Structures are given as C-alpha cells and as structure tokens.
Amino acid sequence: MTAFLLSGILLGLSGGLSPGPLLALVASETVRHGARAGIGVALAPLLTDLPIILATVLLLRPLTDQTLPLALIHLGGGLYLAWLGLQGVHFRGAELEPTELAGSLRRGVIANFLNPSPYLFWLAVGAPTVLTAWREGWPAAAIFIVAFYVLLVGSKVLLALALGRARHLLRSGGYLILMRSLGLALLGYALLFLYEGGRRLL
C-alpha cells in the first residue's frame, strides 16, 4: 500500500505543478483576480475527472488477464511518463496567457474537459495503477486516488495562494529546481512502467 501512496503523491504533485492549460489558468486567474479565483480553478479536477476515471477503469478491466494488451498499455504509459519527465527536466519556467472570460471554476472545468492530459494519464498510467492496486484490496486503490488528488489539487491551491503574494514565483529558481527534480522522478517511474511492459511481453 505504501508504494501506491508514494505513486499517488509523486504523480499528483507532478501533475499539479506541471505547466499546462489548467496551471496557466490557475496562475492567470490568481494574478488578475486574486487567490480565491485561482483556487476556484484548481478545484476543477474534482468535478471533471470522475467520469474519466470510471471510463478508463471500465475500459481496461476486461484486459486485466490478457498479457499483450496490458504489456502495450504499460509500455505506452512508460513512454508517456518519460515524455512528461523530459519536459520537467528541461523546464525553464512557466509563461502565463491571461484569459478574458468570467467565472473561475467554470473556466477551470471547461479547460480540464478540453485538456487531453487527464484522458491520456488515466488511460495510460492511472487506470492500470488502480487495477493493479485493486488486486491488493480496495484500500490500496483508494489511497492511490486520494493521494493523487490531494496533491494534484492541493499543489495548485498552494500555488494560487503563493502567487497571490509573489507573482514572479513561476519563474523562480526554487520552482525550476522542483520541476526538474519531479521530472527526474517521473523518468524513474517511467522505467518501472517500461520494465513491467517488457516483462509481460517476455
């Protein structure tokens, strides 16, 4: 269970702080309208991701006893994590693209629904991890999901609060070091997925 807790923490923190449409919206809303607006956007995954999780788990569940499809999913997940890890390693600072729409939470929900990253993550990484955890019991699967969303949403909320006080944070040296360190950790996690995929093929 500890392994799934740590996986949820790593993936949630990386997803929460990595540049993307939702992070840009959190940052721009905070800069323009204050921390409360940024927090509203940060909460969007709690409203949008449940159907994505259910769809990907139900899609992959019939494949849990089939070696080749699971091997290909793990290999795909490993490549996806490696791509995210390389983005983190080469991270140079986030740029903001302010938006002119109104309604922070509504904008966050729309941005997250239209963002391909949650779909790719849950299909290639999240759902396979949940199904693996479920074999050890539902608490292991639950602790992965809870840890993931506590860090995913919590890190964005903390970022909104921090940006409310220091708007240069997204280009600070500490943020760059954190993102590059998370990138290295994701590369290590990608190797585990690639190893598991290769093992299933042999």
pLDDT digit string (tens) for 109-145? 877 777 777 888 898 889 989 988 998 999 999 999 9
Domain boundaries, the chain: 2-17+45-90+115-201
Confidence of residue 170 (pLDDT cuts 50, 70, 90): low
pLDDT at 189: 79
Q: Is the pLDDT of residue 24 over 50?
A: yes
Calculate what percentage of the chain has a pLDDT beyond 90: 15
This prediction has a pTM of 0.76
3-state secondary structure the chain: CHHHHHHHHHHHHHHHHCCCHHHHHHHHHHHHHCHHHHHHHHCHHHHHHHHHHHHHHHHHHHHCCCHHHHHHHHHHHHHHHHHHHHHHHCCCCCCCCCCCCCCHHHHHHHHHHHCHHHHHHHHHHHHHHHHHHHCCCHHHHHHHHHHHHHHHHHHHHHHHHHHHHCCCHHHCHHHHHHHHHHHHHHHHHHHHHHHHHHHHHC
Rounded mean pLDDT, 38-60: 87
Question: How much is the pLDDT for 154?
Answer: 94
Instruction: Please give the Cα distance from 183 to 188 (Å, whole number).
Output: 9
